[in-house]
Amino acid sequence: MDIEISVIIPTFNRRHVISNSIDSVLVQNEEGVEIVVVDDVSMDGTAEFIRKKYKDITVIELEKNFGQNVARNRGANVARNRGANAARGEWLLFLDSDDTLTNGSLRHLKDLSKKIKSDIIFSACIDSDGNITSNKPSFEGYLSYKKYICGEIKGEYLPMVKREAFLKCLFDETTRRAPGIGHARVIKMSGNAYFTNFVARNYDTKISDSLTKQKKRNYAEMSKVWSIILKEQGLDMISASIKVFFISLAKYCYYKFFSLVRK
């Protein structure tokens, strides 16, 4: 059977919640769907737990990163890229290990992927309080690359990307954050992105170790993120909106300054 969608779930010490993510995929009983879990050096037995509880799920275990003589995990961007390389599906659906898919989302995305002309689809999400996580929750349609990098649509979405296109771009492995950099690479190559207001993801905003809650605490990492964004998207921002370019530059300077001050 051909695999239409590979659901890639990166995880690190999420044994206590990852079953919710996996079960939200399996309960939909959709054919042509595989699950690839990438365990990023968990210390709580996540990989063993999954192998024991589930059959027919691919589990990849990453090796420890010994940078600066300290063993540590490699980060979600590396995990997602490794999962993409191992996946067999035409489309890659990236699901965090503390989030779940909504009922009927896989069927909806399968149908939508056959209609739209883009290499990437963003589906709407709802947070733990039931709020849609977008500044334009009713928007349905295509968005150009320049409008994407200028932030016309902001918020949390569930990304699904054509594997063939994604493997030419990948998430940036020099940072542990900002998967949007990889999304922008795909959108630039594709020419556009498709946004659907169909809610496909339950986004857990209350889990205590969420990376989202830690972004502003790590100034060095965020200065790196904005450096990459300016390098890859800066010229396109200038031609699309000089205001957005200077806002991005200001954010880089802000994080860079405080990263130096806090050393």
Centroid of chain to Cα 90: 17
Q: How confident is the model at residue 70 (pLDDT cuts 50, 70, 90)?
A: very low
- Tokens for 120, please give them: 């990437």
Check whether 183 has a pLDDT greater than 60: yes
Question: What is the mean predicted confidence (pLDDT) over 199-219?
Answer: 71
Q: How many residues does the chain have?
A: 263
The pLDDT tens digits for 2-57 are 999 999 999 999 999 999 999 999 999 999 999 999 999 999 999 999 999 998 99
Mean pLDDT of the chain: 93
How many other C-beta atoms are found inside a 10 Å radius of the C-beta of residue 207? 17
DSSP string across 192-206: EEEEEEEEEEE----
**Helix residue ranges, H only, 76-218:** 76-86, 105-113, 145-149, 163-166, 180-190
- 72 bridge partner residues: 65
Q: What is the pTM of this model?
A: 0.92
Quote the CA–CA distance of 120 and 190 in Å, as a whole number: 8
Quote the CA–CA distance of 101 and 22 in Å, as a whole number: 9
Check whether 210 has a pLDDT greater than 60: no
CA atoms within 13 A on the CB side of 2: 4
Nearest Cα residue to 228 out of 251, 202, 244, 206 = 251
pLDDT of residue 205: 84
Residues 211-240 as b or e (16 or more Cβ within 10 Å = b): eeeeeeebbebbbbbbebbbeebeebbeeb
The pLDDT tens digits for 116-153 are 999 999 999 999 999 999 999 999 999 999 999 999 99
Q: How confident is the model at residue 243 (pLDDT cuts 50, 70, 90)?
A: very high
Question: What is the mean predicted confidence (pLDDT) over 244-249?
Answer: 98
Q: How confident is the model at residue 67 (pLDDT cuts 50, 70, 90)?
A: low
CA atoms within 13 A on the CB side of 63: 3
Quote the CA–CA distance of 14 and 179 in Å, as a whole number: 20
Spatial CB neighbours of 261, under 8 Å, sequence gap ≥ 6: none
Question: What is the mean predicted confidence (pLDDT) over 144-170?
Answer: 97
Check whether 154 has a pLDDT greater than 80: yes
Check whether 65 has a pLDDT greater than 90: no
Question: What is the mean predicted confidence (pLDDT) over 246-260?
Answer: 96
Check whether 111 has a pLDDT greater than 60: yes
Check whether 204 has a pLDDT greater than 90: no
Check whether 211 has a pLDDT greater than 70: no
pLDDT of residue 139: 97
pLDDT of residue 73: 80
